[in-house]
Amino acid sequence: MSEQTTGLPGREEIFGILDACVGELCAQGGLEPGGVIVLGCSTSEVAGAVIGHGSVPALGETIAAAMLAACRARGLRAVFQCCEHLNRALVMERETLRTLGLTRVHAIPQPKAGGSVPAAAWRLMDAPALAMAIQADAAIDIGDTLVGMHIRPVAVPLRPTQPRLGGARIVMAYSRPPLIGGARAVYTENT
């Protein structure tokens, strides 16, 4: 997958961009070890095609590996959103599913039924499982995959330093606790 011959981002670039995105979410969103980040990604969009019309499995393999590496380096849990053909179910380690008490569903993601990135993540994980839904601490959306449905309220948008991966836009968000109570509420612990 050389940038010069295919126009696709190379392995080093992909690993660098995803590492930077995860790092920015940690810094701005206060993510701690054990936190969960969902990745939604269209390899079609990364390759310059329209979402769902140009899946690139080899690119999915690199993107999944980069996300797993960036999260593991920080003690975070990487989760991968499938496409609408699998009802936007989520690939994760079985241990994550059990720890969070999520509802397990049965399917094995494929590039054309789930997406190239989740299919690759399934193969790269030690004990993959598919969950119906999650409320994650943060999310990265590469290529307008509508990953926001998996972020715990209140979602705070974060513009990444690198706003594109290949032809796809990158959008990120992290969650913060809701501020409740009105004018008399106090939001700091220094009172």
Distance of CA 191 to the CA centre of its chain: 37
Question: Could you give the percent of the chain with pLDDT greater than 90?
Answer: 86
pLDDT tens track, the chain, 191 positions = 433 335 799 999 999 999 999 999 999 999 999 999 999 999 999 999 999 888 999 999 999 999 999 999 999 999 999 999 999 999 999 999 999 999 999 999 999 999 999 999 999 999 999 999 999 999 999 999 999 999 999 999 999 999 999 999 999 999 999 988 878 888 777 64
Q: What is the pTM of this model?
A: 0.92
Give pLDDT tens digits for 11-29.
999 999 999 999 999 999 9
Helix H or strand E segment including 191: none
Q: In 3-state terms, the chain is what percent helix, strand and coil (to 5)?
A: 35, 25, 40
Asked if residue 142 lies in contact with residue 162, where contact means CB atoms within 8 angstroms, the answer is: no
Question: Residues of 147-177 as b/e, b for ≥16 C-beta within 10 angstroms?
Answer: beebbbeebeebebeeeebbbbebbbbbbee
Indicate the fold that domain 3-176 takes in CATH.
Answer: Rossmann fold (3.40.50)
Q: Please enumerate in sequence order all residues whose Cβ is within 8 A of that of 11, keeping only pairs 6 or more positions apart, or say none.
A: 1, 62
Q: Which residue has the tokens 């940038």?
A: 3
Q: Please enumerate in sequence order all residues whose Cβ is within 8 A of that of 84, keeping only pairs 6 or more positions apart, or say none.
A: none
Mean pLDDT of the chain: 93
Question: Domain residue spans in the chain?
Answer: 3-176
CA distances from 101 to 104, 144, 175 (A): 9, 28, 20
- The whole-number pLDDT of residue 3 equals 39
